[in-house]
Structure formats: structure tokens, C-alpha cells
Structure 1
Amino acid sequence: MTSQCEGINSLIRFYVNCKNTLIDFMHNLDRALKEYRNNELIADFKTQCSEPVMITSLEVYQRSASRYFTRNIFKEICNEIQRVGALNINVLSTTLDKVEFSVTALRDPATDRQVEVDRGKNLFSCSCMLFESRGIPCSHVFCAMKFENILEFPDSLIYKRLTKNVKNEFISRKMRVNDDVERVLKFRVGALASNCNKLCDIACKDLADFDKVQSPFQEVFLEEEESML
């Protein structure tokens, strides 16, 4: 995304300038990459191991979004959900499976967006095109979902590239055996760390779950020690 590229450029500019020698440039760039990767690990940890605060009256949509999306994307979705309260909605047309809405802002009725809902296929489209451009459902779509009394987050509005488990799916489906070894290892470490953090957060809250999770780890460690002897 453009915003991601701008963020990376801003981070690199902090470490690199036109007065650097080639050696300075390489060292500073390496520091920038390490910080960027560290920030990504922190973001992954917060996504997997912390509970978001529900800040809108449409908690059902927030709860659903928190289960699927990374923390940063979840915050952007919450901003869209918050805007629903300032929107008005009217039905333009209805057929057997489809309904078309007109969604306007409370203080700016001239700003009109058309939202189409395919009830049979559970598909949504909006003339603002936010989902097509950013992968984030817009406030107009959430307004239509509220009107239609849709409580579950539709699969058609979940852009997999922005979900929590995208790294796991990438490793299992996309990465080939003959890929660069170091690159494969980094992806595996990230995926395992993410799952381990989530498992620790769940298992430490109950003694029975803790013992259940602890036993397989001890068996693996024991097998590794015996194989090294």
C-alpha cells in the first residue's frame, strides 16, 4: 500500500542521509531494517496476545473484526464503524436477492453513496470503493449491514492479506522447498513465534491448560537433548 511505502521511507530517512559514506549507508540501513523487523514483531505480539478495547456501540462488528484482522487494520475498521452513527440510509430498489441503498452523511446529505447488497451471495459493494482500494470495509457498508441486521462479519469483506494468520498460510501454501533457506527460516520463526505467543496467553490462565500445553514441550526438549548426545 502507499501508506506502507511512505512509512518505510520515513523510517529509512531517519538513519540515512546524503552525507553518509557507503560503509555508513550499509550500517545505517541494517539498523533501519532491524528496527522495522522489531516493530513488526511487536505488532504481531499485540495482535495475537492483547484484547482490543471496544469503543463503539456496534460492538458485534468490532468483536468480529478483532478475531480476523491485525491490530493496525482493526483500528482503521473501528474508525469506519464509528462513522455509522452519523449516516442516514434509504432503500432505493429491491429485487429477489439484491437491495440497493442510498447512504448519506447526517450533516452533508448531498454526499450520497450507493451500496448494493447481494443477499443470496452475501456480497457488498459501495460506490466509494474503499474496500476495493484499501481492503477495508467502509462505513457505508457497515450502515447497510446494520440495516439488514447482519451480525456475522461476511467472508466477502475479509481481505486475507490483512488477516492475523496470513503468514502461516503463506508459509504452508506459497513457499517452495527450494526457496532461499534463510528467508524460509525467518518466515517460520515469525509464524511459530506468533502461534506460541497466542498459546502462552491462553494456557497460562488455567492450570489444567498450562499442564496440557507444558507436557508436549518438555517431551520435545527431552527428545532434542537425547538426539544431541
Structure 2
Amino acid sequence: MLRSQRRLTPSYQQIVNEMRQEGITAADMQRVFRQWSRGAENVHLLKKDTQRKYLQPSYAQKLLEYLKNKQTENPSFFYAVQLNDDGRIANFFWTDCQAIVDYACFGDVVSFDTTFETNKFEMPFAPFVGTNHHKQPILFGASLIYDESSESFNWLFQTFLTAMSGKQPATIFTDPSAEIIKSVRLVFPNSSHRLCLRHICHNAVKHLNHVICNHPEFLSDFKRRIYEERSVTFFDLKWKELVNAYNLDGNDWMNNLYAMREKWAAVYSRDSFYADMMTIQNAEGTSDALKNFRRKLCLPEFLEEYEKCITSFRQNELEADYNSRQTSPVPYVPDLPMLKTAAESYTRNLYSHFEEEFKKLFTLSCSLLSQDRTISTYKLTPLNSEEEAYVVFNSEDTTVSCSCRMYECTGMLCKHALRVLNYSNIFTFPSHYVYKRWTKYAKAGLFGCRNNSQSGNGSSMLRCARISQKMHSVALRYSMSEKALQFLESGVDKLTCEVENLLSHINLNGNGNDTGQSSGFCNGAMAESLGHSESMYSEGA
């Protein structure tokens, strides 16, 4: 049926709502409507009509008031809503200044999760999540979506990019939805798209429950296969062994999963940076941090939980920042320059990971395969194992490249590269391998930088977010001292007067915008392609 011929009449909508309240699934609704209409071609609604979930008008108004109040408190707060054909609010997205700054620092990897359902209408809460320099989860933005269609995801991803000044992540993780895959390909063409392994493991439990019941060890074997990193050939071999061992050769779910292996198998992720978010520990940690959103919450409860969650995330980061800057780990070899530099540079959590990797270098045998002037190639083999790795080392510039690609994927040197450096009598940490993203001062210099490729409202919003976040951090830092706060407030008042004088001087000279960019944020409506839907953006007053 053509889109123009489809009309969701009030009577159909009432039936859909009643069926949904009785717990009838969208697929079962479609079967009922096909029987009533004597054929699929006579059904005047699509499957996604039965899946659409709206907030009640009173709840929608409360959410809008919440977003407007947040923007009043902080002008750099960003939110957007999308209206459907009937003028109802369908989709919401929002983010704040600290999230925008966090994305500027740590937006290289994003996880987008639609598996949280937050109210009695089961309207999905879909957060954009990342990981900071302590490997803690951080929220880049949040959304409530009325259906999981490509039109909704297109709008949502485009809106997210608008809020983040057009910066695309290096890698984005999502659940394995065909509609999401399609939208990611359209909106994030420069990003590596990976499917979340946690979701795949959960889906395995659902689709292969009969296997797990008869073979409790299957899930452990399955996880080992999907995290196999040695080589594509080895992965294929082990996958076939798994399929044959559990008689899954004709299983449609396993066959479809294998057909998409390049989007999820760890061995295919070596060319993209994923900040260690692919590990099951990291994925489960993020899921645990957001576990309360898996409960059925009414809107006030949801907003309260959201505030608690984002406050907790940021408090955890402040505490980890303080711990990393005010205390120092004791390297297990105290006088070794490489460990000393790592301890001085990395956050406490990252240093712990690095030291564990460093200890493993002593379990590797190292043999020289070839040498051409300054270029040497080595073969690394663990004791009592056949997991070989190959490292190319350039003694001229102290660069090292390993076949395991751990540094390219996580930003931390692997045990193989560290073994070759040690073998080559390089005991200091090459500065070009101290990845700033994982250091104590990952956000240093952000407020002074300016990206010339950004223009218009996106650039203004990011600059405003930087300043807001900087002032917020200063206020938090000195909040325990009344004297310090009074001094800070006096300084802000003085600075405000000076800025007002500066703006007056600029306006008197007829140059109201000395950067050539819009000095404010826009409010308005913009047509988007969800039928005749509208997108309303509000980026501050």
C-alpha cells in the first residue's frame, strides 16, 4: 500500500491502543488486522503503526516544561522535538553543555542503545553513551522515540550531529536493528559501525535457549568465538567447529549472524578505534549503570532517575579526577622510566590496565625475523601458547606496529610492542604513544581551541558550552569554601562588567559579530521527512 493511501483512523488507533494495553504484540496485531480485512493488501496501517508509542499529552507537556526549564537554567542546553502528521510530539532529544564538552573530548566512540523502555506505553529511552578517560560511562545525550523506524532514527542522528557541531564518532555501537543500520550508514558515513556484542549475547540466549538448556556450556563457547581476535581464518575455523559441535548448521539465526560477522566479530574490528568499549566487561558496566531505566517508570520517575544517573556519572568523574591528580600509583618496578612516565600521565584506572599489560611482556619470547637498516621485524610467542604476533620496529623514530592492532583499537600499547621496546633497550615511554584521551589532563586545552571548520550555531553552541562547563567546574572545585566562593563571585561580577563594555564597544563600531558567525542560538521549526512532520530545535535563548 502506498504511504499516501494509508490512514490510521481514530477507530483503528483505539483498537491498537486497547490491544497494546492487553499486551498483544505488533506482529499479532498485524495478523488480526489481516484476518479482519481479508488480506494484507486491505490493511490500512503498517506494522510500525502498531509499534508507535506516544506520551500522553499531559506527560508530553511536562517533558517540554522540564526541557524549557533546563534551558532557562543553562542557555547552552539543547533540545529538539519532532512532530508527526497529526501534530503530536513523536520524538524528543536533549543534551546539555557538559555533555557537549564531553563529546568534544571523548566522542570518538559512541554507544546508542534502544533497549530501555521507560513508561507504560513502552516508549523507548535511547541514550547516547561514551566512555571517559577513567573508562567510566558518560552520557552525551538522551532521547525518547515513538517508533523504531528509519525515519525516526534519521531525524535523531541528524539532531545529535547538530548538537555536536557536526562531529561524527570514529566508531558507533548499536543493537542489530536493520533500521538503525540503515540510518547509521546514511547519517554517519565516516564512522565505523559495530554491533554491540552484549546485545548479540542476549539475543543468543533468546534464540538459542533450547541449545543452552541442553548444553549449559554453549554460551561460554559462543562468547569465546565472538571475541576471537587471532585471525579471520582462525575465527572462521572456530565458528564452524561451534556450529558443528551443537548441530546448528541449519539454524537461521546463527546463519544470519555469521553473514553480518564483519560488523560484530572482534577480529574484524582492528581497523577502527573503539576505546575498549567492545569488551563485555565495559558493555556490562554501562548496562549496569543504566539498569534502573529498564524498570517501568512513569515520566516524573523517569526524569528523576535521569537526573540521578547523570549526576552520579559526573560525580564519579570528579572523584576519579581528584584521585588521579592528587595521588600517584606506585609502579611495581619503581625506578623503571617507562612505568614512571605512565604513572605520571595516565589516570589511575588506565595506569592499572597499562601495568597489567606491561607485566605480560615477560611471558613472551621475542625472535628477530628480519632487519633492513632501521626497520626490524619480530615474532612474539607466549609461553605455552601458539598465539603468535608480529611487530615491526623502527629504531630511528621509535615507532612500533603490532599485528594485534591493540594500540590502533584502544590507544594503549600492547604487551607485544612493549616486549620489543624492552628487547631493543628502550626503557623510556615514547611520548607519541601516550594517548592524551587516557591521561589525567584529557580535557586540558579544550577551552582555548577553536575548530575553523565549525560555523554558525553549532560553533557558537560549543563555545558557550566550553565556557559554561569551565565555570561549572571552577564553582564545584571551590564550593567547599565560602571565602573562595565569595572571591569567585566577585571575580565573575567584575568580568561580566568588562565583557559588557567590550560588547558595547563592538556594537558602537558597527560590528555586532566580530567572528563573522551568528552570536546567538536559533529557535524555530524545520520540516523533516517523517510524513509531514516538523522538527523544532531549541538551542538556547
Which band: TM-score by shorter chain? 0.7 to 0.9
The letter of the residue matching 1:163 is T
Tell me, yes or no, if structure 1 residue 160 matches structure 2 residue 442: no
Aligned counterparts of 2:422 and 2:474: Cα–Cα separation in 1 = 35
Cross-structure match for 2:461 = 179
1:65 aligns with 2:347: no
Superposition pairs of residues 119-198 of structure 1, within 5 angstroms: 119-174=395-450, 178-179=460-461, 181=464, 184-187=467-470, 189-190=472-473
Deviates more, 1:36-45 or 1:16-25: 16-25
* Alignment-mate amino acid for residue 52 of structure 1: P
Measure the CA separation in 2 of the matches of 1:16 and 1:99. 52
Query: Residues 193 and 154 of structure 1: is their aligned pair in 2 closer, same or farther, counting only changes over 3 Å?
Result: farther
Q: Give the residue type in structure 2 aligned to 1:141.
A: A
Unaligned runs of 5+ in 1: 197-216
Q: What's the counterpart of residue 359 of structure 2?
A: 82
Cα 1:158–1:226 shift into 2, 3 Å? closer
Corresponding residue to 1:44 among 321, 341, 345: 321
| Structure 2 equivalent of residue 12 of structure 1 | 290
Q: Check conservation: 2:367, 2:380, Cα contact below 8 A.
A: yes
Letter in 1 for 2:288: S
TM-score with structure 1 setting the length: 0.76
Paired residue type of 1:179: M
- Classify 1:53/1:163 alpha carbon distance in 2 versus 1 (closer, same or farther; 3 Å): same
Q: Any unmatched runs of 5+ in structure 2? A: 1-274, 479-483, 496-541
**Structure 1 residue matching 2:393: 3-state secondary structure:** strand
| CA RMSD between the two structures | 3.1
The answer for the alignment partner of 2:308 in structure 1 is: 31
* Aligned residue identity for 1:186: Q
Structure 2 CA distance, aligned partners of 1:192 and 1:167? 17
- TM-score w.r.t. structure 2 length? 0.34
Q: Which amino acid aligns with 1:27?
A: E
User: 1:112 is matched with which residue: 375, 383, 388?
Assistant: 388
| Structure 2 counterpart of 1:134, one-letter code | T
Partner secondary structure for residue 400 of structure 2: strand
Deviations along 1:152-203, whole A, 9 cap, x unmatched? 2112312222122220122221589733535532245448978x9xxxxxxx
Alpha-carbon contact 1:68-1:163 (below 8 Å) kept: yes
Contact kept? 1:105, 1:111, Cα under 8 Å: yes
Distance 2:476 2:304 in 1: 27
- Higher mean alpha-carbon deviation, 99-108 vs 167-176, is at 167-176
Provide the C-alpha distance between the structure 2 equivalents of 1:116 and 1:98, rounded to a whole number of angstroms. Answer: 7
Q: Which letter does structure 1 place at the counterpart of 2:359?
A: Q
State how many pairs are aligned.
203
Identity of aligned residues (%): 21
1:97–1:120 CA contact under 8 A, matched in 2:
yes
